[in-house]
Amino acid sequence: MLIVKNIVKKFHGKKILDDVSFSAAPGEIVVLLGQSGVGKSTILRVLSNLETIDSGSIELDHGPIDFKKVGMVFQDFNLFAHMTVQQNLTVPLTKVALKSEQEAQTIAHLMLDRFNVLSKAQDYPVALSGGQKQRVALARALCLNPQVLCLDEPTSALDPQLTSDVAKIITELAEQQMVIVIATHDIGLLEALSCTIHLMRDGKIIQSATSKMLQENPESFINIKNFVQGK
Ligand SMILES: Nc1ncnc2c1ncn2[C@@H]1O[C@H](COP(=O)(O)OP(=O)(O)O)[C@@H](O)[C@H]1O
Ligand SMILES: [Mg+2]
């Protein structure tokens, strides 16, 4: 269980995250929804230890979170441009997870195959399509066997017709009992997922609902409903 409790993050004295709390069980897909600038990416960045929090706590399985158990796929994928696809996977495996080169290559091979980009192993990221880059970025994050996977705007760099592919991959990962936390403003993606939605405004979660609750009782979640309808 991931438990985010009362987190506050300030930049230059201004509260960018203002008392944010939510939790997620293994297998749960959490969607942080909201306009640009509300603090969605900042939540993912504190979950992956790229930013520290000013107050509050983040727990995973009844203790302070071990950030090594959190994987991140960035909006622009952040692949290492000067490394081949294969090296993008093997370098974190050898340098971060301290695997042997041989072991790293075996894991990289399996993951690239799983995400259907094994034929690109010796290419550089520049030679890949957006969808391929994303699958390499996902493969790289999953190599390190995270319990929590953060995805920042996973559909923003892709053609809209790839949205259902991305939703399918996310759903399959959740089925393997990972916690998935997605920052997005993409209603198409939201509607393709069975998830828990937290609508954000000005650094706060202002309304929460599951997809099912929203579907069955939209009038009870008027802010989320309006956001979904573009109002
Ligand atoms: N490193 C930073 N320094 C100063 N301000 C930041 C920094 N990172 C984010 N912000 C500000 O925090 C707010 C929330 O940003 P962000 O979490 O990226 O929003 P979102 O992902 O919802 O678009 C924005 O106003 C942004 O300018
Ligand atoms: Mg963002």
Model pLDDT for residues 24-44, shown as the tens digit of each residue: 999 999 999 999 999 999 999
For tokens 């969605």, name the residue: 40
Distance CA 18, CA 63 (A): 22
Q: How far apart are CA 171 and CA 150, in angstroms?
A: 13
Atom of ligand 1 nearest to the CA of 152: 21
- Two tokens, residue 56: 């509050």
Nearest to 74 by CA among 104, 53, 47: 47
Closest-CA residue, ligand 1 atom 7, reads: 11
Within 8 A by CB and 6+ apart from 22, the residues are 4, 30, 196, 198, 205, 208
Give residue 39 CA to ligand 2 midpoint distance, Å: 7
Residue of 156, 191, 194 whose CA lies nearest to 172: 194
CA angle centred on 140, ends 136 and 142, rounded to 5° = 115
Q: Which residues of 102-125 are buried (b: 16+ CB within 10 A; e: fewer)?
A: eebbebbeebbeebebbebbeebb
Atom in ligand 1 nearest the alpha carbon of residue 42? 17
Q: What integer pLDDT is reported at residue 161 of this predicted model?
A: 82
Rounded average pLDDT over 69-87: 96
Q: How far is the CA of 34 from the centre of ligand 2 (A)?
A: 9
**Per-residue pLDDT tens digits for 127-182:** 999 999 999 999 999 999 999 999 999 998 888 888 999 999 999 999 999 999 99
CB of 169 closer than 8 Å to CB of 176:
no
pLDDT mean over 55-64 = 96
pLDDT value, residue 103: 97
Chain Cα centroid distance, residue 27: 13
Strand order from edge to edge, sheet including 55-60: 14-24, 2-11, 55-60, 63-64
Q: How far is the CA of 228 from the centre of ligand 1 (A)?
A: 22
Our answer on whether the CB atom of 150 is closer than 6 Å to any ligand 1 atom is: no
Q: Kindly tell me the burial class for residue 231, based on how many C-beta atoms sit within 10 Å of its own C-beta (0-12, 13-18, 19 or more).
A: exposed
Confidence check: pLDDT of 84 > 90: yes
Q: What pTM was computed for the model?
A: 0.95
Q: For residue 208, with 0-12 CB atoms within 10 Å meaning exposed, 13-18 middle and 19 or more buried, which class applies?
A: middle
164 contacts 192 by C-beta, under 8 angstroms: yes
User: Is residue 132 within 8 Å of 120, Cβ to Cβ?
Assistant: yes
pLDDT tens column, 96-118: 999 999 999 999 999 999 999 99
Q: Residue 103 C-alpha to ligand 2 middle, in angstroms?
A: 34
pLDDT of residue 25: 97
